[in-house]
Structure 1
Amino acid sequence: MSIGIIGKKIGMTQLFDEKGFVVPVTLLKVGPCTITAIQKENIYTKIQIGYEEMNPNKLTKPMVGHFAKNNLPCFKYLKEYKVVSSEIPKIGEIIKIDKIKQEQLVSVSGISIGKGFSGYQKRHKFSRGPMSHGSKNHREPGSIGAGTTPGRVFPGKKMAGRMGNKKVHVKNLKVIKTDNTNNILILKGCIPGKKGNIIYINQK
């Protein structure tokens, strides 16, 4: 059965494998998550999980009623994923990190670091102009289109703009180690976002 769980990014470090090679890894504080809703469809089942309990006074009345319907505490973060399996969990069941299998692959998604309004060179890796005294285009974009025809700039043109702060999905990250006592998950490679970012982990 597909397993979905939510966690927070702690940071990056490095480990040594059995052959003595350095492996870059990311540490995550994962779960425990509670199943808050289940919706059955024709082919698959939607499972909603909640993470990090919070004060109900900080939520809207519809959200408080959503949790109170099943006698559940209020959660700050919710995530929904699909399951195609005959083994369907029950509402209120707690998903812990011990359900993630080691030495297998997982997919993660999160919000990348926002870098604000960035120029051409930083955002799209454009090359700069000549830096000699007579040059007027050191870091200018150059031509952005034709003149009379079509008389406009085509949509999708690579120009300066906001960089980062987008949802990034990374597939096939290897699970190096799981610490069931402290709910720590160690994955090989890098994960989008800064320290403290909410990360969604899925293992099929």
Structure 2
Amino acid sequence: MKVIFGLRGTMTQIFDEQGHVVPVTPIEVGNDCVVVAKRTRKNNGYDALQLGFGEANLKRLNKPMEGYFKHSGVEPTRVLHEVRMDSTEGYEVGQHLGVDLFKPGDVVHVVGQTKGRGFAGGMKRWGWHSGPRTHGSMSHRRVGSTGAGSSPGHVLKGRHLPGQYGNERVTIKNLQVVRVEPEKGVLFIKGAVPGYHGRLVLVKGRG
């Protein structure tokens, strides 16, 4: 399975070979994604890669993590994340992963953190329609009924109500790689990707 970390860029448009405008999101990888450690089924009971991304601020690196990177023989990274794999064959500790892992036409899944919108009302969070706006009604954006009366006597779990909206881990599946630019370290993916520009995302090949 192909896997790589990158930074989400701002959405843009490119033209395909037929001259059609395609909305794309650039993923900036550069030379910042590196394999820090491997987990194998034989030694650990499962297959996984520990991937590092970005350059760490050495002043903020604590002693345990400093020793961990020294043992791995890899320069300390800003982000360290473990990704489960079907197999870790073909990957080595210290190997830098680039966008050349992918090619145009590949189908990928993108994992990212959505934009946080804070405490939001039901209309914004769940797409409710508004209440009546005439004939003296004061219930324009309110919740309304939340259930029955004395039986069951409480609001059932899972009810669509106002609350925290966004800032959650989301996977967008089956996106298509449109263009790969190895010299710039940029991957162009068709469509939208979760989060705001500059946020870390994980790109996984399907299968």
TM-score above 0.5, yes or no: yes
Q: TM-score, normalised by structure 1?
A: 0.93
Structure 1 position 193, deviation (Å): 0.5
Matches for 1:4-15 after TM superposition, within 5 Å: 4-15=3-14
**Aligned residue number for residue 134 of structure 1:** 136
Given that residues 114 and 196 in structure 2 are in contact (C-alpha distance below 8 angstroms), is that contact kept between their aligned partners in structure 1?
yes
CA RMSD of aligned residues (A): 1.6
| Residues in 1 aligned to 2:85 and 2:122: alpha-carbon distance in whole angstroms | 42
Match of 1:118 among 113, 120, 140: 120
Runs of 4+ in 1 over 3 A off after TM superposition: none
- What is the CA–CA distance in structure 2 between the aligned matches of 1:130 and 1:123, rounded to whole Å? 19
User: What TM-score do the two structures reach when normalised by structure 2?
Assistant: 0.92
Alignment of 1:44-193 (within 5 A): 44-85=46-87, 87-193=89-195
Check whether the contact 1:51–1:78 (CA below 8 A) recurs between aligned residues. Answer: yes
Which residue of 2 is the match for residue 22 of structure 1? 21
1:195 match: 197
What is the distance in 2 between the residues matched to 1:84 and 1:160? 40
Provide the rounded CA distance (Å) in 1 between the counterparts of 2:117 and 2:152.
33
Following superposition, the deviation at residue 86 of structure 1 comes to: 7.1
Percent identity (aligned) = 37
Q: 1:31–1:51: 8 Å Cα contact kept in structure 2?
A: no
Unaligned stretches of 5+ residues in structure 2: none
Asked if structure 1 preserves the Cα contact closer than 8 Å seen for 2:180 and 2:186, the reply is yes
